[in-house]
Amino acid sequence: MSLVFPLNGKGDNDERELERINRELARQTAAMNQRPDPEMGGLSPEQVHRLIHSPWGETGGAIQFNETIPLSGLTGSPYFREMRELLLAAVRHDGIKATAKQNLPRSFVTERMEAPGDEETKALIRKHNKVINEHDYFLVHVARVVCQVAGLLRLQKGRFVVPQKYRDLLGEERAGSLYGTLLRAFFTRFNLSYLVHYGKETPSIQRCAAYTILRLGTVAREWRTIEEIYPEVFLPAVRGEIEQTQDDWTYGTPASETAYRLLHPLINWGLLEGREEKEGPIKSLKSVRISPLHNAFFSFNV
């Protein structure tokens, strides 16, 4: 006669008990994942997962775009303005001849330097450069790189060209669609760390950018300092990654680090407004609030 002990992996009773335990664990895990978490801005872990893993701007996704925004509503975005003007010039001139290093030619950069824009930044560029190349006017450089990342600009036979299938996006009536296409490429395919020339990369800032954008729409409706909003718009794991790099910094705080890596780009997309203060010869971003474009362009389904 042999004995079968409970939960020893043998017998129907043991298998049924194991199934019951697994069902209970699954139920508790599901309940925990659906429970609002104050550390996640009142969202549940399930909602945050959906938000940061959902494709941007796609039907049924967590982060939705209003691509009916008219061109007049997008003029506050320096990034969009430069990208669209670059694409229009490439079509107008049947391509823009690239330099030997596959950059935009100095003639085009000069043309964009003379266009209306941030005159203070342009004055500094002129002060420090006898001749101005693409990398010297970084706004134009970013525009060219992002347009290529988005597939809207290609280098063919030594010229930057816009593929025929994308040219209809350049019409004024398609401005919102063009903005959405470029914005999606910027945040999901372009490496935001490329914008910062120091310190370690912090990829979680970009990976969780949809969460930050959603939270800014709640906590930055009025002017707030970046120090105030820092713990409110970045997930705990993101703050942990940022703060791990602090030993390598000579200046700044975790909040100011996020300013360079995400808040400034959002300002350049016209989605945030910023106030700067001068600290010696350098201006630093001190406070932000969402722009009308943020509310008009984004909606969230979490």
User: Is 9 part of a structural domain of the chain?
Assistant: no
Total H helices, total E strands in the chain: 14, 8
Task: Determine the pLDDT at residue 23.
Answer: 64
Are 59 and 81 contained in the same domain?
A: no
User: pLDDT tens-digit profile of 63-78?
Assistant: 999 999 999 999 999 9
Residue 123 has pLDDT above 50, yes or no: yes
Reference 239, options 263, 251, 255, 225; nearest CA is: 255
Domain end among 135, 166, 190: 190
**Structural domain containing residue 228:** 44-63+198-302
CB half-sphere exposure, 56, CA atoms < 13 A? 24
Task: Give the pLDDT band (50/70/90) at residue 20.
Answer: low
Kindly state whether residue 69 falls inside one of the protein's structural domains: no
Burial of residue 232 (number of CB atoms within 10 Å: 0-12, 13-18, 19+): middle
**In the beta sheet, which residues pair with residue 276?**
285
Look at residue 170 and tell me if it is in a domain: yes
pLDDT classification of 199: cutoffs 50, 70, 90: confident
Residue 31 lies inside a defined structural domain of this protein = no
Same domain, 221 and 176: no
Contact 197, 262 (CB under 8 A): no
4 belongs to a structural domain: no
79 and 185: one domain? yes
How many whole angstroms separate alpha carbon 100 and alpha carbon 168?
Answer: 30
Domain co-membership, 137 together with 233 = no
Least confident of 28-37, 207-216, 267-276: 28-37
Amino acid at 43: L
Confidence of residue 245 (pLDDT cuts 50, 70, 90): confident
- The whole-angstrom separation of Cα 286 and Cα 223 is 10
Q: pLDDT at position 36, please?
A: 77
Burial of 136 (0-12, 13-18, 19+ CB in 10 A): middle
- Cα–Cα distance for residue pair 100/83, rounded to 1 Å: 22
Residues 50 and 112 in one domain: no
Tally the domains of the chain: 2
223 and 292, same domain (yes or no) = yes
User: Looking at the structure, do residues 164 and 262 belong to the same domain, yes or no?
Assistant: no
* 213 & 122 share domain: no
Residues 204 and 295 in one domain: yes
Domain boundary among 133, 165, 190: 190
Helix, strand or coil for residue 161? strand
pLDDT of residue 10: 53
CATH code (residue 236)? 1.10.10
Q: Which residue has the higher pLDDT, 276 or 14?
A: 276
Domain's final residue, options 163, 190, 217:
190
- Give domain status of residue 86, yes or no: yes
Tokens 């001749």 locate to 131
Residues whose CB falls within 8 Å of the CB of residue 226, separated by 6 or more in sequence, listed in order? 255, 256, 258, 259, 263, 285, 286, 287, 288
The one-letter amino acid at 215: R
User: Are residues 293 and 150 located together in one domain of the fold?
Assistant: no
- φ and ψ of 129, to 5 deg: -135, 125
Say yes or no: 167 and 222 in one domain. no
| Domain assignment of residue 88, yes or no | yes
Q: Which tokens sit at 136?
A: 């010297």
In the predicted structure, residue 146 carries a pLDDT above the cut 80: yes
Residue 17 lies in a domain: no
Whether residues 295 and 259 share a domain: the answer is: yes
